A and B are shown apart, each in its own frame.
Chain A
Amino acid sequence: MSATSVYLMIIGVSIVSLLPRILPIAMLSRFEFPEGLKKWLSFVAPAVLGALTALSIIAPQGSIDISTGNIYLWAFIPTFLVAIKSRSLFLTLVTGILTMALLYNYFGA
């Protein structure tokens, strides 16, 4: 790719990645949503979180990997338990990162 093409690509990607984030907020904020829609939207957050969590652990490299070789699955177990018990983001992060460092260096891919 020529330098011009690279910059064109960057600008094009910028436009299509920023508009979907900015337009809904810019255009829809002045409307009062109907109750039904508000309720539906309130379920978007848990749905997105469920999907993102599942993908980040079960498909960490971009494809589904349900095997004992997927160290993200193993690291998930102590992380999840600490999250439930402690309800502390800090402790959960430390647990997750340390577990992953240990797993990667000693049982690693």
Chain B
Amino acid sequence: MRNMELREGIKDSIPIVLGYLPLGFAFGVLATEAGMNLLQATAMSILCFTGAGQYIAIGVMQAGGAVITAILANLLINQRYTLFATSMVPYLKKLPTRWTAFLSYGLTDETYAVAINRYRQQEASISYMAGLNLTSHLSWVGSTVLGAWLGSLISNTERFGLGFALPAMYTCLLVFMVNKKSDALVAVFSAFICLLSAYLLPDSMKNLSNIIIATLIGASLGMLIDERN
């Protein structure tokens, strides 16, 4: 039973693994270019596991910025996880908190999208969480090592098409998720707000607060529509 859930978690992480391959690889390449060694780049992927945040830290480093700048930028960019994690609480509360809290360090945009899609249909479990989050994290670390180590040998990973693994996964999960009209409206409206915010406030695109803005407004619209029905 548990074994099956662990396996399902691992299986569901495959699209994420494919998507992380070029992204982690690129991080490894950029990190070494910015002056990190293999150990530092790997340590960062193990301890931080935040794609956008790690890219920003590297950018700060390369620009000769201060440590605190990189940390503050990350404080901002990672706030969306507060929202993601809070929305998971109702699904995880029956499980032992020490495990759910520990495994939540593997919560990313991608693992959130996959996990919440499952929990809306099936019970959450520690084994599933472990399979999904740990495999995803492992692939992030592994591809970082490859990038930092072999980066100079493979110059262009885009030609393999893996850059579309995550967009394709999001598209599919979105199609799976919107069974109700209210969900579909919320998704479309949130997408629009997210882009509008990026257009009107370019900084919100850099620190990803546009995702927070879109989610707050989108979910509130969901309440309004639902009230009427």
Contacts and interface: CB of A to CB of B under 8 A. Distances in A.
Interface of A: 1, 3, 5-14, 16-18, 20-26, 28-30, 33, 36, 38-60, 62-64, 72, 75-76, 79-80, 83-84, 87, 89, 92-93, 95-102, 104-105, 108
A56 B215 CA distance: 16
B181 to A, nearest CB: 11
Given A9-B67, A47-B215, 11 more contacts: A12-B67, A13-B48, A13-B57, A20-B81, A24-B88, A45-B117, A46-B178, A47-B190, A51-B193, A55-B194, A96-B161
A63 to B, nearest CB: 7
Nearest to B166: A56
A97 B214 contact: no
Given A39-B223, A40-B222, A80-B175, A1 B67 contact: yes
Given A17-B78, A72-B167, A92-B168, A44 B104 contact: no
Nearest to B170: A53
Interface in B188-227: 188-195, 198-199, 202, 205-206, 210-211, 214-215, 218-223, 226
Contacts of B102: 22
B71 A97 contact: no
Contact of B189 (A50, A75, A93): A50
A49 B113 contact: yes
A13 to B, nearest CB: 5
Given A49-B170, A87-B176, A89-B169, A101 B78 contact: no
A49 B177 contact: yes
B4 interface: no
B101 A26 contact: yes
Question: Which of B162, B163, B195 has the most A CB atoms < 10 Å from its CB?
Answer: B163
Contacts, number: 302
Given A11-B47, A76-B167, A43 B186 contact: yes
Contact of B187 (A21, A29, A47, A95): A47
Contacts of A52: 109, 113, 170, 211
Question: Which of A36, A50, A53, A108 has the most B CB atoms < 10 Å from its CB?
Answer: A50
Contacts of B104: 21-22, 25-26
Interface of B: 15, 18, 35-36, 40, 43-44, 47-50, 53-54, 57, 61, 67-68, 70-71, 74-75, 78-90, 92-93, 97, 100-102, 104-105, 107, 109, 112-113, 116-117, 120, 158-178, 182-184, 186-195, 198-199, 202, 205-206, 210-211, 214-215, 218-223, 226
12 contacts: A12-B67, A16-B74, A21-B85, A29-B100, A48-B190, A56-B170, A59-B205, A60-B167, A89-B169, A89-B172, A97-B160, A104-B161
Contact of A10 (B44, B168, B183, B192): B44
A14 B40 CA distance: 13
Contacts of B54: 13
